Structures are given as structure tokens and as C-alpha cells.
Copies of this chain bind each other. A is one copy, B any other.
Amino acid sequence: MDETPGSVGTTASLSLRLGQAFFSSASLLFMSVGVEFYSYTAFCFLVTIMGLVIPWSCTLAMVDIYSLFAGCPLRLPRVMVIVVIGDWVLSVLSLAAACASASVIDLLIHIDGPYCPTKICGRYQLSAAMAFLSWFLTAASSLLNLWLVASW
């Protein structure tokens, strides 16, 4: 079995997982602390998905740390298939949530009315940007692990 960079049990994978956990936490915090996000469906969706990405990434980061310390990557075929499917589903949902939020923010800025004060809109935008970064890292993990599974 060749060593695909970024697959489970490598330092590259650990960095990707930590990055996902960091950016999804940042997105969740920017969206939820002190902002009335629950008025908009897209923002609730973003918060839900980011709340799913954080435990997933943290769990797999712990698996990576264990593999690195134990020196033997945990690469049972069934586990890898679950990881690939989970990553793929979460990356699709993260992208969907990030795009939905970004388009709603864009619309709120352009519609006249009391929908989006500048300060709060800035935080919404930061949250959507963090969600895009989290999506990017999840998609990278998903593709690298899929490549590993397919090349067996």
C-alpha cells in the first residue's frame, strides 16, 4: 500500500482535520454569538452543519494522533469507506450551507430595510468565509481518502 499524502494516519491528514475543526468553530462562533441567526433558514442550516463538522473532525484528528503515536495507521477497509462517505457528505453539506448563507447575506445587503446592520452583516460574511474554508479542507480530505480507497 503506497503512502498517499493526506490519507488517515498521516501528519497532512492531522493538519487538515485541525484546520476543519478550527474554521468550522470560527464559523459557528461568528454566526451564533450575539447575532439573531435563527431568523433565517440558511443561517440555521449553516450552524447545524458546522455543529456536525466539529465533532467529526475532532474524532478523526484523534484517530490521526493515535495512528501517528502508535506508528500503525488504522486503515481497515470498512472504516475507510465510512470515513470517505462521511467526509463526502459533510463536504457537500458545508458547501451548500456556505453558499446558501453567502447568497442570503448578499441579498440582505442589497435589499433596503432594517434587515442587516453593517456590523452584524460583517460578522455574517466572516462566518460564511470561514465555512468556505472549512468546506475546502473537508473536500480535500474526502478526495485524498477516496483516492486511497480506490487505489487499493
Contacts and interface: CB of A to CB of B under 8 A. Distances in A.
Interface of A: 40-42, 92, 95-97, 99-104, 106-108, 111, 115, 139, 143, 146-147, 150-151
Nearest to A150: B150
Given A95-B96, A111-B111, A103 B150 contact: no
A47 to B, nearest CB: 14
Contact of A100 (B40, B102, B146): B102
A80 to B, nearest CB: 13
Given A95-B92, A96-B99, A107 B104 contact: yes
A19 to B, nearest CB: 19
Number of copies: 2
A96 B94 CA distance: 10
Contacts of A100: 99-100, 102-103
A40 B108 CA distance: 11
Given A99-B95, A99-B96, A107 B146 contact: no
Nearest to A149: B150
Contacts of A150: 146-147, 150-151
B42 A107 contact: yes
Counting chain B CB atoms within 10 Å of each CB, the highest count among A95, A103, A108 belongs to A103
Contacts of A107: 40-42, 104, 107-108
A103 B106 contact: no
Contacts of A92: 95, 139
